Amino acid sequence: MKILLLGAGGFIGANLTERLVKDGQHEITALDIERAKLDETVKNGEIRFIHFDIRANEKKLERLTADHDAIIDLVAMANPSLYVSNPIDVFKLNFTENLKIAEFCVKHRKRIIQFSTCEVYGVTAARAFGKDSSKHPVPFAEDDTPLIMGPVKSHRWIYACAKQLLERVLHAYGLEEGLNYTIIRPFNFIGPRIDYLPSEQTGNPRVFSHFMNALLYGTPIKLVDGGVNYRAYTYIDDAVDCIVRIIDNRGGVCDRQIFNIGTPENEVTIKELANKMCATFDKYFRQPADPYPEIVSVSGEEFYGKGYEDCDRRIPDVTKARKLVGWRSEHDLDSVLFRTMKYFVEKHRTKQPSPGRDAVARYISREPESADFAICDGQRTDHLGNRLNVRKGRCRG
């Protein structure tokens, strides 16, 4: 099958491209305005890469669509700081430009796999009715859960609204024009190469990268609004495995379906995530010269700007993925964090003098067992419940 992968140079796109190349079942054309994460794959001649901005040349984009069997659309602005600072650009790219791709697929009778977001679910019903969602855990189901957005004045929701509107248009084209679509709603994928570190590049990346930056550079670990909101993290390799099954679409079971991809068992509050990352770093990666970041609470407006509001909880119901494509996530949260942090630690250590590079092997020689450590009442403990030897000043709140 000839696949056109739009947004191939991003975190999900690069990992998906590499997996498709490894499987060797498809002919891949990859488009993006950046290719750093794909450099090795491109250099090896394993894909056709086109440096291309979908906003620049509609005719070329239509020709490419017509020349492929399936279109995988990952093009998006997916960064909360941009939702607040550049809402119009966010809407135009996430809806207007992506709608053109969908209409080319309608015109040329092509299958489209459209990446959406778990943010289309908005806030939980518990929060909408003034209840405490921490006491009312209700998973989000693709075909049944109401999509509840925040108020217009909180323009952070423009991203979720743009994605939700695109989903509704795809559904309508499926009804009226027979468009064969599959919509994917990712739930907080993380892994190596997820983002840059803000001490190394200007910008405002996702929360994991901010916390990792704090551990390596000593900047404060900032908990937005106290870090009370929940997220469920999924390792990128597990996510890509599900995506590939959806692409293969055996028996047509994914036609005109929406899929959550996530790991409900890996749900954690942002504050708990910070503590868990501190514990993992202290146990497996810390060296004597590493800084000890302070944990502080900041408001959403202070961190992101006026107009920010957060989703309180996102628990994915992945029953459909399990039933239709036989997928189940394999990595628990401890493994997800260890593997992802290991990548950033190794990358950081290579910038240090040779003693640092030699020492890192002693800290990352093995991967933790599932229950190698836990967080109990804010204290780091081992699997027997014994408090770890935490020196004063370590990742303190």
Q: How much is the CA Rg of the chain, to the nearest whole Å? A: 21
Percent of the chain, pLDDT > 90? 83
Least confident segment among 35-39, 228-232, 361-365, 372-376: 372-376
- β-pairing, 111-115 vs 373-376, is unpaired
> In whole angstroms, what is the distance from residue 277 CA to residue 75 CA?
30
Asked whether residue 380 carries a pLDDT value surpassing 50, the answer given is no
| Residue range 70-99, pLDDT digits in tens | 999 999 998 899 999 999 999 999 999 999
Query: Tokens 């997928």 map to which residue?
Result: 327
Average pLDDT of 267-282? 98
Pair 104, 110: CB distance under 8 Å: yes
Whether pTM > 0.75 for this model: the answer is yes
pLDDT score, position 201: 86
Average pLDDT of 335-350? 94
Give DSSP secondary structure letters for 86-138: -HHHHHIIIIIIHHHHHHHHHHHT-EEEEE--GGGGBS-HHHHTT--GGGS--
Asked whether residue 370 carries a pLDDT value surpassing 90, the answer given is no
> In whole angstroms, what is the distance from residue 5 CA to residue 109 CA?
17
Q: Length of the chain in residues, anyone?
A: 397
Q: Which CATH number, 3.40.50.720, 1.10.10.60, 3.40.1390.30, 3.10.310.10, labels domain 2-190+234-264+311-330? A: 3.40.50.720
Give DSSP secondary structure letters for 330-342: ---HHHHHHHHHH
| Residue range 210-254, pLDDT digits in tens | 999 999 999 999 999 999 999 999 999 999 999 999 999 999 999
| Residue range 287-306, pLDDT digits in tens | 999 999 999 999 999 999 99
| Residue range 20-76, pLDDT digits in tens | 999 999 999 999 999 999 998 998 888 999 999 999 999 999 999 999 999 999 999
Q: 146: pLDDT confidence band, cut at 50, 70 and 90? A: very high
Phi and psi, residue 50, nearest 5°: -125, 120
